[in-house]
Amino acid sequence: MKATAVANANIALVKYWGKRDARLILPQNGSISMTCDGLSTKTTVEFSGEYRKDTVIINDEELQRDEKDILGHIEKIRGLAAISHHAKIVSETNFPVAAGLASSASGFAALTMAAAAAAGLELSQKELTVLTRQGSGSASRSICEGFAEWHKGNSSDGSDSYAESIAGRDHWPGFRMIACIVSEAKKKVSSRSGMAQTVATSPYYDGWLKTVEQDIGTIRNGIKSKNFSAVGLTAEQNCLKMHALMLTTKPVIVYWIPATVEIIQHVLAWREEGLECYFTIDGGPQVKVMCLQENEKELQDKLLRLEGVKKTIACRPGDGAALSNSHLF
């Protein structure tokens, strides 16, 4: 009863910010993302009668505070499989955790796939995204390759809130997402608690909901037709709308640091000078710069010359989550 899975993080082009059901993690709006080759989590799960309790080890550190309710998610999978054994979970990431680089997405996608396989569950990809969503909403998209859409659904039981690939990893091989690491510190406000604050207090939340469906349509069509300008500009505007919600939340949520603003200003300037690039930012200080393959090297060189950028990771559309025969223990 042991299995290992590898999953990539995904970066949202249309953001998910706010739940209509916190228990089932049903979103207020749909979202679209790119699964990023190069930002990955590997997780091994074993259920055994020899274990006296569940243990979780992430990047060589045993979990002490289960803020993400990892153990609750494992309990859900145990219930579905009708097993009672405790689990040992070991996970490794190749990028900073809880710093605004979608580590929860890759983490819960790898965890769910590995735990479901170890428990003997046979699930379709759609069923797997539904199960993964109940651990971390954005993680449902990391099950899928290339570009994924997470449907908000309308059913109260969450059965129609799932993710699917709308374009495979080879559909647009020239699309690039350059992740700029400006801080490896854990963010003070988790996305989960931040969303709840925003829905409850931001006076602009209704405006967000009224415009996000148009953003989804524009980006979905832009991905299918490979219209980089439409995708990049709409993703950038969608990102700014989400952070405007955070800035009008009580108490205020500010994830940006000076280096974040420095990158934004330079991206805008470079675009005015004719170098087409766009930015997007999730719940954290890291900036992701979108460009096409022919501009990747020039942009990376420019970004690395900025004082606040510690390193960059260039990602292309990547694989969905997959099982591996190489276990971590």
Phi/psi of residue 280, nearest 5 degrees? -145, 150
Instruction: Give me 126's structure tokens.
Output: 């759609």
Q: CA 262 to CA 284: how far, in whole Å?
A: 15
Of 146, 171, 196, which residue constitutes the final position of a domain? 171
Do 284 and 201 lie in a common domain?
yes
Range of the domain at 8: 2-171
Beta bridge partners of residue 61, listed in sequence order? 58
- Whether residue 140 contacts residue 129, with contact meaning beta carbons closer than 8 Å, is answered with yes
Q: CA 212 to CA 196: how far, in whole Å?
A: 18
What pLDDT was estimated at residue 246?
A: 97
Q: CA 193 to CA 23: how far, in whole Å?
A: 13
| Residue at token pair 């374009």 | 167
Do 29 and 137 lie in a common domain?
yes
| Residue at token pair 């960059």 | 312
- Number of structural domains (the chain) is 2
Of 117, 149, 171, which residue constitutes the final position of a domain? 171
Task: State the CATH number of the domain containing residue 141.
Answer: 3.30.230.10
What are the strands of the beta sheet with 311-315, ordered from one edge? Answer: 278-280, 287-292, 175-181, 311-315
Overall pTM > 0.85: yes
- Whether residue 267 contacts residue 180, with contact meaning beta carbons closer than 8 Å, is answered with no
Do 122 and 33 lie in a common domain?
yes
Rounded to the nearest 10 degrees, the angle between the axes of helix 103-118 and helix 70-81 is: 30
CB-side neighbour CA atoms (13 Å) of 329: 17
Q: For the chain (length 329 residues), average pLDDT per consecutive 10?
A: 97 97 96 95 97 96 90 98 98 75 86 98 98 97 98 96 98 97 85 92 97 98 98 98 97 96 98 98 95 98 97 96 98
Consecutive H or E run containing 157: none
C-alpha distances out from residue 4 to 143, 259, 317, Å: 14, 37, 22
What pLDDT was estimated at residue 102?
A: 58
Q: CA 12 to CA 258: how far, in whole Å?
A: 22
Task: State the CATH number of the domain containing residue 185.
Answer: 3.30.70.890
Beta bridge partners of residue 32, listed in sequence order? 14, 149
Of 171, 187, 214, which residue constitutes the final position of a domain? 171
Instruction: Give me 98's structure tokens.
Output: 């809880």
Q: CA 209 to CA 212: how far, in whole Å?
A: 5
| Residue at token pair 């569950």 | 121
